[in-house]
Structures are given as C-alpha cells and as structure tokens.
Structure 1
Amino acid sequence: MDLPNIFSKNIADGVIERINQLTPHTKALWGKMNAAQMLAHCNVTYEMVYTDKHPKAGFLMKLILKWFVKQQVVTDKPYPKNSKTAPAFIIIDEKEFEAEKERLIEYVRQTQVLGASAFDGKVSHSFGVLDANEWNNMFYKHLDHHLKQFGV
C-alpha cells in the first residue's frame, strides 16, 4: 500500500481515534467547513460505496474523471489545501456533529472489516475499476487531509 493501510485494524483504529478527538467546536486550520460539515463531507465517499444516495457519473463524465481527476485522488500524493471538490461533496447546510461522527466511524470500521480483498477490482462511483491500493489511497488520503485540516 502506498499510504497507511486503512484496511488494517491498527490504522483504522488510529483514524477513528483522530476522529474522536474532534468536537463540534474544533476549528479548521483552513477552508470553509465547520467540523460537522467536514464529517458529512467525508461521509460522501462512503455513501458512494455503500448506498445509492448519489447518482453515478454518466459515461462521458466518468471518462473525463478517469482522465483528469483519478490520478489526483487515488495516488499517494497529498491533496493541496483548499483544493476544489466535486459538487456531491460540497456541504453548505448545518449538520448534526455526533450523527455525522458516528456515521463516519461506522463507515471506517465497515471498510476495515471488509478488507482490501473486498475492494480489489471493485468499481468506483466515478473512476471505474480500482485496485485495493487505489481504494486505500482514496479512503486514507481523504480522511487524513481533512483530519489535518482540523488539527487532529
């Protein structure tokens, strides 16, 4: 794995420990979201995996995403601060902190329990088929970026 392995229990537990350090009043070091909105934003990644809440990208959009966005998302290269995000990930309304936190923790646990083999060759909502390493990088990098955004 290029980045810490989110499918391993000790790494997933470490991410959950960082999530648990957040409070509704934790301030962002950059960006516009509050802590509850950030948690809801992080939940979108998992909603795209585990629910039908978000429509799948059409053929042309998926092709564009694969060509121009995929390598920014699934590699080990960190996201820059204040980078643009897809419309489905933009959270502007107020969210309930504890509910979003518990949902995110449950998604991290579910992903870890399923393990890398459940994701190897799985089709991404936006990028087509990804290998386990690409899924790991996408999951871990996104969480790590936003937890660092909030100083944890």
Structure 2
Amino acid sequence: MQDIFSPLDAQQYIDRINRLTPETPRKWGKMSVDQVLAHLNVSYETIYEPGKHPKPGFIAAFLLKNFVKKKTVNELPYKQNIPTAPMFIMKGDKDFEAEKKRLIGYIQKTQQLGREAFDGKISHSFGKLTAQEWNNMLAKHLNHHLEQFGV
C-alpha cells in the first residue's frame, strides 16, 4: 500500500493523474474520466469542506461503521464494478481540468498536513480513524480509479 502522506508516493499519484486526458478510455465501469476525477474529489471534500455533503443518518451511520468501514479502510484493493455510494455518483459532464487541479491540490494538502493531522481524525462516514486507516482508504480509492483508466 502506498503512503499518501509520503512526498514521493503523493507525487507518484500526481504523476499518474497528469497522464490522464479527457479522452482516456476506461477499462471498466460507467464513469468517464472527468466524472471519476470529480468522484475522487468527494472523499477530500468530506475532509476539507465538511458542510458540503450531508452526514449519514443514524441507521446509515450504523451500517457504514459496522459493515462498510472494514472493507474500506483495510489494505485489500477494491474489486471492479463495486456499488457506489449515492454521494459519490457523478452525473453529467464535469470540467476535466478543474477537477484534476482540485484533486492534485487535495493530495498535496493531505501529504503536507501529514500523518499526525489524520491520526484520530473523524471521518464523515466512519467515525474516528487512525492515520493508517485514512491512508488505506484514500490510497486504495486513488489506485482503484487510476487503474480503471490504465495509469
């Protein structure tokens, strides 16, 4: 598992993102490359723009913490074509360059804040996470979608 807090690993993600173009074809799934960039930004929006997405209700929060969290924060890669949570579903065209720039900025900010800023930080969907759980969640989500587009 790559370390999203490492300057070298963060730069490798950025380099992979910079290899994407608006025409990069997907290997699986339904989202276009611009939609995937916007989709990836949602994870960071929940960290850096906390009011942008409504928090899950009581029942949804219970289910997320008790059934979804383990699969999301472990080191096992996501399988292809897994269901997408409603707030991550992207409709319509997105601005490729703007979404790419935002994603790179979020990756840089996360790396610069470092592991210490994330240890014990509350997740929008899963409650308190360790820095390693944050890393696993963010890194494997990036890897999953960058592999989806062959970069």
Q: TM-score, normalised by structure 1?
A: 0.97
Trace 1:1-152 onto structure 2 (pairs within 5 A): 3-51=1-49, 52-152=51-151
| SS of alignment partner, residue 31 of structure 2 | coil
Separation of aligned partners in 2, 1:151 and 1:92: 22
1:80-108 deviation per Cα after TM superposition (whole angstroms, max 9, x unaligned): 00000110000021101000000000000
Separation of aligned partners in 1, 2:90 and 2:3: 27
**Which portions of structure 1, spanning 4 or more consecutive aligned residues, are displaced by more than 4 angstroms?**
none
Separation of aligned partners in 1, 2:12 and 2:150: 14
| SS of alignment partner, residue 93 of structure 1 | coil
- The letter for the 1-side match of 2:103 is L
Q: TM-score, normalised by structure 2?
A: 0.98
- Where structure 1 has 5 or more consecutive residues not aligned to the other structure, the ranges are none
| SS of alignment partner, residue 78 of structure 2 | coil
Separation of aligned partners in 1, 2:63 and 2:30: 27
Aligned-pair CA distance for 1:72: 1.0
- Where structure 2 has 5 or more consecutive residues not aligned to the other structure, the ranges are none
1:50-103 deviation per Cα after TM superposition (whole angstroms, max 9, x unaligned): 102101112321111011100111000110000001100000211010000000
Paired residues in the alignment total 150
Q: Out of 53-62 and 67-76, give the one that drifted further.
A: 53-62
| SS of alignment partner, residue 144 of structure 2 | helix
